[in-house]
Structure 1
Amino acid sequence: MLPSTQCDTAPRLAGRDPTDDHDPAVDALVSRAVAAQRSFATWPEAQVDALLHDIAKCIAEHAEELAVATVAETGFGNVPDKILKNRLASQMVYQSLAGKPATGLLRMDAETGIADFASPVGVVFGVLPKTNPVATFVFKVLIALKARNAVILSCHRDAQRVGQRTGDLITAVLKQHATPAGLVQWNQRRADRRTTLQLMRHPDVAFILATGAAGVVRAAYSSGTPAIGVGAGNAPTWVCADADLDQVAQAVVASKSFDNGIMCASEHNLVVDGAIRPAFLEALEWHGAAVLREYEIDRFVAAVFESGDDAHVRSELLGQSAPRLLEAAGLNRAGAVRLVVVPARRHQITGPLGREKLAPVTSLFTVDGDEEGFAICHSLLANEGAGHTAIIHSADSERIARFGREMPASRILVNAPGAQGTLGMESGLPPSLTVGCGTFGGTSTTDNVTFTHLLNIKRLAYRTLPVRAAA
């Protein structure tokens, strides 16, 4: 997720009531969606899954074209990783949905006599981020349609063209399957505050999926419409004394450099036991990291980060490559550098090195033993990223269990890369492009969001004999 100080639309959503500028076109958009959803709600499971299969297949076949267009338009990330992300959001998400019941009777509890029935929520409004405009587009379409909802999407203003292309591809598939008109819609012009807020507050919009900057999420939750939003990432990654250092270094470099570091669940901070620090730094460099020398740190921080304790990576360097970051600081490294590692001290936790860094750069804090490791991880999440993700690399089951109990994070990854693990590529988590932070992070779920979050579950319960109080 992009912090509110950076380049998504969030700050522009505050202000006067959007009804001051009521747009009749929004009413027409929602009316089409309502009518389409009512018709689509009766589609049988096999027919819905066939539709989803063809949408996923279409986007996967155009994954490279869409990745090239995304990088060209947004300036974020890199083409190879965006191709992989587009295929994950289409094929892997489809595979997680196919064959799952999403309508009518879901289950019957023989012991209680309670039967669960699923109903669509209705019209879903989805806000899309600049960081993943194609992957999040197709992901939200697939989970909304699986639950038999209509969906209206708001493409980021800096990803409008690639959003239009993605929508056109999906619309062609919808027409082939003779779906009702208006089932999937998106903004046909550059996103603006008035339209976004009017859609969020529209009485016929049933649910909001808000993926974007902090202000977007706040606007969704304050709209009066049920919503799920995301929170900032800032994953602390504890590398314990018993960790497999080569495996950890490979995972960290692969994850934090993935799509030039714009994944909110990647390793924003390394917390490394001092006993293994020298060997771990060597392993990081072997796998393509540039570990800054003491005399390089201040120069790099001044060039790459904004000033002030609450600062983040400069907007012009978001999602840029590691060599580009080094170039901005006037630093050089031989060989192919994928990630920049910045050694940091404990007092820097509250500064930019202790915050979410949406670029291929991570901080490295050195700790002495378990208690300091736990304390630093807690402090990092308290500074930013509460509720999102925390990572531990260890072979000690008791230490891992304690980390799981104590960390205020919705996803606790064990010996796994942050980005790929959270996405469900290298873990058993449901593949998702929208992940909750729970009440830790001011959101409404800790889950990796999927189609089940877009269903109303009704419970049919028979009368039972009353339980009599003891005499």
Structure 2
Amino acid sequence: MSSIRPVDLADHDLAALQEARDLLGQARQAAATLALWTPEEAKRVAKEVAAALLPRAEFYAEWAVRESRIGKVVDKIAKNQIACTLTPSAWDNVALGGVRRNDALRIVEIGRPAGVVVGLSNSTSPVATILFKTLMCLMTRNALVISPHPVALGCCTVVTQELQAAIEKAGGPAHALQILTRPTVEATGALMRDARTDVILATGGTPMVRAAYGSGNPAIGVGSGNVPIYVDASADIEAAAQLIVSAKNFDHGSPCSAPSVLMLHASIAPQMQQALAHQGAHVCTEQEALQIQNHAFPGGKFNGKVVGRPAHEIAQAAGVQVPIDCQALVCPIANPQAGHVLLKEKLSPILGCVVVPGMDQAIGVARLMLQHSGAGHTSGIHSANAEQAVVWGAALDYYRVVVNGSTVHDSTGANTGLPYTFTIGTGYAGKSSVDCNVGPELLVNWKRVAFPLPGGWAGAMASGAASPAASGSLSTLTPELQATVLRIVQEELEHLR
């Protein structure tokens, strides 16, 4: 039987650290070239790269599921397709660089790309996350170095190579996109701490996101989910059941915005449980729920083997009989209290369920969930009462409250006005620097050249002139002046590198 010698491990770790250093050196060279692009050229290249990868959505979805054993192929195909179609077009009318003028405030704004971005990729949406971050960086003229999750290293490496080839075919520089092929904790940490890194896009587990914030470099991080959903007495029961089960089953419950615990108003709980069963969920007995709980949280610790696995497989492992096409496992929680493991995030088709006499008690259960995780992320409510929905949102520290919809799809704008993203910021509540759905606009800084303004900013505020202007009301400068200013900015960026 072969064994790994300590010297082999040491060599691997040293090679990983050296690879991290080499990647950043090459990324800085690519960033200098990308900074010379116009915003229009950057968006053109992003569109061409996305179009080249779109036909490969199914190939990489199958690979990701096969390698990581997380999620469903059909849903990962959808994620990959959305990343390739929506990302390059969603910000067509948003300025992601260049020069613009605000006449009301007499300010000229000059866009500056971040430079080198280090992007962490998660295990649950490995390829879609890389597609999304790559296209965001291209649109904003930034170089990107990916540190992938080890469970999906193979598919992440190959899709990165194919993306880079597409970038070069579209006229982009070498090393605009690279990947750490030895993603050790030490090498990823070295990437994040290096002075040549300008910003970190942190998507992944809480420890790695915390490390990003402690790196000494700017970080745009996300927090973990743990989604409570309250079903009020006034809810459309059949519609709510369909949306909840569909969201919980999407990618086998692995998205961080998937429902985690239901709170059912007592007056409609029996009907709601029947409706959930009608949609293909298995409503467990107390004994079955205990068996599933013990399998998912043996000894009170989370069993990572349930992440993104089919409901019937999890049930079978727990000794519970369900149909092979079971969509979700609804586990009653008779006595919700602090520390109950089913109040934690589960990243699987396991769905906690609590019957409550009213919204006040539902809010209490959600606050117990917040003691574990989910702060600043997503919650949901099904109610015919708009005021009730707003009260639910005000009472809890979740920054996205989806009303009568799917928390998986509508937290990122499928049927709401929330922006599309694959990276959800959780704000101060979730120990994140941003509370918004992360988009490419966060990868551009704006210099502001301020000319004398009678009355100053306070006067403009008083007159209403300082109100945030829509992008369409920002006058563009003459082409000649834009070219001059961009040339100066490019020279400055080159000097900084």
TM-score w.r.t. the length of structure 2 is: 0.86
Aligned to 1:448: 437
Aligned to 2:492: none
Q: 1:20 to 1:75 in 2, by over 3 A?
A: closer
What letter is aligned with 1:153?
Answer: I
| Conserved 8 A contact 1:49-1:99 | no
1:285 to 277, 281, 288: 277
SS in 2 for 1:435: coil
1:126 aligns with 2:115: no
Aligned to 1:103: 97
| Conserved 8 A contact 2:48-2:170 | no
SS in 1 for 2:37: coil
Supply the distance in 2 between the matched residues of 1:362 and 1:174 (Cα, whole angstroms): 42
The structure whose Rg is larger is 2
Q: 1:423 to 1:349 in 2, by over 3 A?
A: farther
| Conserved 8 A contact 1:300-1:329 | yes
1:307 aligns with 2:307: no
Aligned to 2:328: 339
What letter is aligned with 1:76?
Answer: I
| Conserved 8 A contact 2:39-2:140 | no
Aligned to 1:354: 343
Aligned to 2:462: none
Percent same amino acid at aligned positions? 32
What letter is aligned with 2:441?
Answer: T
TM-fit CA distance, 1:405: 2.1
With 27-36 and 80-89 compared, the bigger mean Cα shift is at 27-36
| Conserved 8 A contact 1:96-1:430 | no
TM-fit CA distance, 1:42: 2.3
Aligned to 1:59: 53
Residues 187-198 of structure 1: pairs in structure 2 closer than 5 A: 187=180, 189-198=181-190
Residues 108-257 of structure 1: pairs in structure 2 closer than 5 A: 108=102, 110-187=103-180, 189-257=181-249
| Conserved 8 A contact 1:304-1:328 | no
Instruction: Give aligned pairs, total.
Output: 445
1:396-431 deviations in whole A, cap 9, x for unaligned? 111112222222112111111111112333322222
TM-fit CA distance, 1:99: 4.2
Runs of at least 5 residues in structure 2 that lack an aligned partner in the other structure: 1-12, 459-497
SS in 2 for 1:447: coil
What letter is aligned with 1:260?
Answer: H
1:229-272 deviations in whole A, cap 9, x for unaligned? 11110011011111111111111111111111110111101111
TM-score w.r.t. the length of structure 1 is: 0.90
Aligned to 1:15: none
SS in 1 for 2:411: helix
1:315-342 deviations in whole A, cap 9, x for unaligned? 2222110000110111112462111100
Supply the distance in 1 between the matched residues of 2:309 and 2:70 (Cα, whole angstroms): 6
TM-fit CA distance, 1:458: 2.0
SS in 2 for 1:264: coil
Supply the distance in 1 between the matched residues of 2:19 and 2:385 (Cα, whole angstroms): 59
Residues 378-389 of structure 1: pairs in structure 2 closer than 5 A: 378-389=367-378
1:32 aligns with 2:26: yes
Aligned to 1:365: 354
1:72-92 deviations in whole A, cap 9, x for unaligned? 111111111110111112212
Supply the distance in 1 between the matched residues of 2:169 and 2:15 (Cα, whole angstroms): 37
Runs of at least 5 residues in structure 1 that lack an aligned partner in the other structure: 1-18
TM-fit CA distance, 1:466: 6.4
1:194-217 deviations in whole A, cap 9, x for unaligned? 211111111111000111111101
Supply the distance in 2 between the matched residues of 1:119 and 1:279 (Cα, whole angstroms): 56
Aligned to 1:5: none
Supply the distance in 1 between the matched residues of 2:435 and 2:286 (Cα, whole angstroms): 39
Cα RMSD over matched residues?
Answer: 2.0
Q: 1:334 to 1:76 in 2, by over 3 A?
A: closer
SS in 2 for 1:384: coil
